[in-house]
Amino acid sequence: MHSQHSTAGADRAPRVFDVIIAGCGPTGAMLAAELRLHDVSVLVLEKETEPASFVRIVGLHIRSLELMAMRGLLERVLPRGRRRPAGGFFAAIPKPAPEDLDSAYAYLLGIPQPVIERLLEEHALELGAQVRRGRPVTGLEQDEEGVTVELADGERLRSRYLVGCDGARSTVRGLLGVGFPGEPSRTDTLMGEMRVGVPPEEIAAKVAEISVSRFWLRPFGEGVYSVLVPAAGVSDRAEPPTLEDFKRQLRAIAGTDFGVHSPRWMSRFGDATRLAERYRTGRVLLAGDAAHIHPPTGGQGLNLGVQDAFNLGWKLAAQIRGWAPETLLDTYHAERHPVAEAVLENTRAQMELTSTEPGPQAVRRLLTELMDFDQVNRHLIEKITAIGIRYDFGAGPDLLGRRLRDIELGQGHLYGLLHSGRGLLLDRTERLTAGGWSDRVDHLADPTAELDVPCLLLRPDGHVAWIGDDQQDLNDHLTRWFGKPAG
C-alpha cells in the first residue's frame, strides 16, 4: 500500500489516506493540523453538515494557551476571546491564583466553543487537511496494513490509521468494542442562552441571594443571558429541554422565571464519568471525549481533548513517516490515560464539593480555608490548567517529563521556535549536536537561555525528554524518542 499526497489522481485511483479522523470537533481539528505539520495525508470525516452554531463559552486554560503559542495560533485566538484570571475554577471556589504561576500565559481565555473549533479547523485546512462534512463514519475493519472505513452512504475509504475523535457517544469506540467503564449520570443540568424580561439589576440581586449549586444567569450582552439551572424536575431525559422546562426550574429555585423567552439554544448535560479502557486498538486510536467524559466542572474537557491531540499527532506522524521507535505510539495511551484518569478524579471531587448537602458544604468550607495556603491553591490550579503534568520518563530531575514553560532566548522566545512541530535540542554548552537526527530535531546553541540546566531535549509537544551534557547519553535519548539517526 502507498499513500498519495496529491489530490491529482483522486478520481482515477482509490485514494489511501495516511490518517482518517472521525469527527471535526476541537480534538479532531487539532489532530489533523498536528499531522499535517509532518506532511501526513489527512481526511477528516464529520457527521454534521454545518459547524455547530450554539454559543457555549468554554475556557482555554494555561496549557492550551501554551499549545496555541507553540503553533503560532495565539495571536489569532486572543482577539476572539476574553481574558480572565486563571484562578477560581476548582469547584468554582473563588480564590485568586498565586501571582507567580509558572507560565508566560497565566490566564484563562473565555471563548465561544464554535469560534475555537472554527479557528482550529481553518488552521488544519490551511496546512492541507481535507474535511468532508455530512459524512458520518458507520463501520470499520482493520487488517495488518490499514483500516477500511465505511460511511453512512456505503462508501468505503482506506487509511493506514483511523482516529476516533467523534465525541462522547463515539461510533468508533463502539465499533472497536472498547469498554467505557465509569459512572452513569446522576444529576442533570439545563443550560441555554435566552432573552430575559426583567432588568439586569433585578436579576443580579436575585442571583446573589441564592446559594444553589449549578445555578446562574450570566449576561452575554444585548439582553441575552446564559442560564444554568438544575434539571431535577425534568423527567424525560431523551427529549431536548423546552423553554417551559427552564421556566419551571427557575421558578422552583428563584421563585421567578425572570421572564425568559426567545432561546438561542437549550441543552442538558449530566455528570456521567467514564474512561475508555484503551486508547489504541491496533491501527485505530481514540482521543478527546471519545476516550473520556466527565462533568464540565472546572472547564477541562475541550482542553484535555486538544492536549490528547497534541500528544498523539507527532507520534502518529512518526509512525507513518517510518522513523518512530517501536514503542512510541503506545506511549500515547501510557501518558494520556493517566492524565484523563486524574481529570475524572478531580471532577468527581468537584461535583461532591458543589453539592448543597451539609457534609459536602462543610468539606468545601474546609478546602476554601486550606486554599489560603499557597501550595494547596497552586496544586489545584496546576491540576485544572494542566501545567502540573509530569509524564513518567524514568528517574531524573523534576523537570524531566514536564512541559517547559515559554522562556526568553537570545533570539526571541522559545515557543516561537516550535511552530513546525519538530523536536528541539536547547543547548547552553554549545558543544553538543543533534547530528543524524537533524531532519527531525532542531538544534539551538544559546548560552544565554533562561535555564538552570546545561542542555535539554524537547519533544514536539514541548515536554522535556532529556536533561544533561553528555553527547553519548543524548544520542541514546534521541534514539529513544526520535528513532535511528538518518544515513
Question: Which parts of 259-278 interact with ligand FAD (CB under 6 A)?
Answer: 269
Nearer to ligand FAD, 26 or 468 (CB): 26
When asked if residue 346 is in the footprint of ligand FAD (CB under 6 A), the reply is: no
Asked if residue 423 binds ligand FAD (CB under 6 A), the reply is no
For residue 236, the minimal CB distance to ligand FAD (Å) is 19
The DSSP result for 75-87, as a single string, is HHHGGGSEEEES-
Site string for ligand FAD, 29-58 (x = CB under 6 A): ----------------xxxx-------x-x
What does the alpha-carbon distance between residue 262 and residue 264 come to, in Å, rounded to a whole number?
A: 7
CB of 16 to ligand FAD, least distance (A): 19
Our finding on whether 483 is near ligand FAD (CB under 6 A) is no
- Residue 288 interacts with ligand FAD (CB under 6 A)? yes
- Hey, what's the cell of 79? 482577539
Residue 225 phi, psi (nearest 5): -125, 145
Pairwise CA distance, residues 179 & 206, whole Å: 45
Q: Residue 233 corresponds to which cell in the numbers above?
A: 424536575
Element (H, E) at 265: strand 261-269
Q: Which of residues 85-124 bind ligand FAD (CB under 6 A)?
A: 113
Which is nearer to ligand FAD, 41 or 170 (by Cβ)? Answer: 170
Distance of alpha carbon 151 from alpha carbon 135, whole angstroms:
6
d(CA 137, CA 309): 19
Length of the chain: 487
In whole angstroms, the minimum distance from the beta carbon of 300 to ligand FAD comes to 5
- What b/e readout covers 287-304, taking b as 16+ CB neighbours within 10 angstroms? bbbbbbbbbbbbbbbbbb
Pairwise CA distance, residues 32 & 242, whole Å: 36
Cell numbers standing for residue 77: 485566538
The residue among 264, 300, 304 whose CA lies nearest residue 52 is 264
Nearer to ligand FAD, 266 or 329 (CB): 266
- Spatial distance between the Cα atoms of 424 and 24, rounded to a whole number of angstroms: 29
Burial class of residue 244, CB neighbours in 10 A (0-12, 13-18, 19+)? exposed
| Candidate ranges 163-171, 383-391, 425-433, 459-467; the one touching ligand FAD (CB under 6 A) | 163-171
> What H or E segment, with its residue span, contains residue 304?
helix 301-321
Q: Examine residue 26 and tell whether it contacts ligand FAD (CB under 6 A).
A: yes
Nearer to ligand FAD, 312 or 457 (CB): 312
Name the one range near ligand FAD by CB under 6 A: 298-306, 336-344, 442-450, 470-478: 298-306
Distance in Å, CB of 269 to ligand FAD, minimum: 4
Examine residue 24 and tell whether it contacts ligand FAD (CB under 6 A). Answer: yes
Residue closer to ligand FAD, measured from CB, 302 or 451: 302
- Closest approach, Cβ 181 to ligand FAD, in A, equals 19
Cβ closest to ligand FAD, residue 137 vs residue 404:
137
Q: How many CB atoms lie within 10 A of CB 132?
A: 12
CA-wise closest residue to 325 among 474, 434, 483, 441: 483
Give the span between the Cα atoms of 158 and 135, in whole angstroms.
15
- CB closer to ligand FAD out of 136 and 388: 136
Supply the DSSP string of 111-157, one letter for each residue.
Answer: EEHHHHHHHHHHHHHHTT-EEEES--EEEEEE-SS-EEEEETTS-EE
Nearer to ligand FAD, 165 or 464 (CB): 165
User: Which 188-207 positions form the footprint of ligand FAD (CB under 6 A)?
Assistant: 191
By CB under 6 A, is residue 299 in contact with ligand FAD? yes
- Residues 427, 468 contacting (CB under 8 angstroms): no
Report, in Å, the least distance between residue 89 CB and ligand FAD: 9
Q: Which three cell numbers stand for residue 150?
A: 465505511
- Geometric angle at alpha carbon 303, from 88 and 478, rounded to 5°: 120
Instruction: Give, as ranges, the residues between 129 and 158 that touch ligand FAD (CB under 6 A).
Output: 136-137
Give the binding range for ligand FAD (CB under 6 A) out of 25-33, 254-262, 336-344, 479-487: 25-33
Query: Binding segment for ligand FAD among 119-127, 300-308, 374-382, 452-460 (CB under 6 A)?
Result: 300-308
- Quote the least distance from Cβ 176 to ligand FAD, whole Å: 13
Residue of the chain from 19, 22, 424, 456 that contacts ligand FAD (CB under 6 A): 22
The residue from 87, 167, 313, 421 that contacts ligand FAD (CB under 6 A) is 167
Whole-angstrom Cα distance, residue 355 to residue 434?
54
Q: Which stretch binds ligand FAD (CB under 6 A): 20-28, 214-222, 445-453, 476-484?
A: 20-28
Q: For the CB of residue 101, give the shortest distance to ligand FAD in the complex, in Å.
A: 18
| Rounded Cα–Cα distance for residues 404 and 465 (Å) | 10
Size of the site for ligand FAD (CB under 6 A): 32
DSSP 365: H
Residues that bind ligand FAD (CB under 6 A): 22-28, 45-48, 56, 58-59, 113, 136-137, 165-167, 171, 191, 269, 288-289, 296, 299-303, 305
